[in-house]
Structure 1
Amino acid sequence: MKQKWKIKESVIRENELVFQLQEDANLENAKASGQMLVDSDSLAFIYLLEKENEYVYLEIPEMVWKDCKVALAANDTFFIKDLNGELLLENFKEEMEYLIENIRGNGNYGEDMEKAVSSVFL
């Protein structure tokens, strides 16, 4: 079974957006994959992390999308943080922008996901 980590909050710093992980997540030995997916059922974007030869799904919920929009517009760098450190989310901006554009007017992602993305990003 794949692990799914949730973001509990986002913090905008100078030229950076940092996602704070849930307490039980541990970034040790995790690597950024540079790839994202969409979870229409949860109304979330998913960033793929690699850890111990498995993928970990980093769920980017709707509650942090407004910060994402600001950070995307400012060309900020995206990080994930746990209690012990931070990890750069490589290719986050490019993947997020691609998915947002792809979701616009595309019913394949579901009406709720399309409306949610449009209401925040478009």
Structure 2
Amino acid sequence: MRKTIHFTKAVWNEEELGLLSEHPVALSTVKASGQIIVDSDQKAFVYLAEENDEFIYLYIHESVWTELQTAMEKGASLFAIGADARLQLSNWSEELSYLINNIEGNGNYGEEMVEAVEKVFLHQ
């Protein structure tokens, strides 16, 4: 079974953006992979993490995209905040920039995903 954690809220701490999940989660044994994929059906970016040689899918939902855009502009660090630890999401900005450029005008991601990404990240 695929382990997923859904991040729907964001908080700023000086020059860092923290992502908060819907429910408290343990992150102390989770490692960042530096890769992001897209789940068009969920309208989410998915940061890949690892725990005990298994992938954990960290869903970054549309509700925090505006904050992600601000974090990209500021060059801020991004963290997933758990009940027991903070996980720095390495390489997030580069990965997200690549995906945004790839999604722009690309119907393969689905009309709703393309519109949402363009609205938040490209047409401000």
Q: TM-score category by the smaller chain?
A: over 0.9
Separation (CA, whole Å) in 1 of partners of 2:8 and 2:44: 13
Regions of 4+ moved over 6 Å: none
The alpha-carbon deviation at position 86 of structure 1 amounts to 0.5
In the alignment, what sits opposite 2:30?
30
Distance 1:8 1:108 in 2: 25
User: How far is 1:23 from its partner?
Assistant: 2.5
1:13: how far off? 1.9
Matches within 5 A, 1:1-80: 1-80=1-80
Identity of aligned residues (%): 43
Cα distance in 1 for partners of 2:115, 2:62 equals 12
- CA distance in 2 between counterparts of 1:8 and 1:56 reads 16
Give the unaligned 5+ runs of structure 2.
Answer: none
Secondary structure, aligned partner of 1:73: helix
**Which amino acid in structure 2 is aligned with residue 95 of structure 1?**
E
Superposed counterparts of 1:98-117, under 5 Å: 98-117=98-117
**Shift of the alpha carbon at 1:24?**
4.4
Q: TM-score, normalised by structure 2?
A: 0.94
Stretches of structure 1 that go unaligned for 5 or more consecutive residues are none
Greater Cα offset, 48-57 or 20-29: 20-29
> Is 1:92 matched up with 2:56?
no
Cα distance per residue 1:69-117 (max 9 Å; x no partner): 0000001010011111201101011001110111001111011100000
Q: CA deviation at 1:37?
A: 0.3
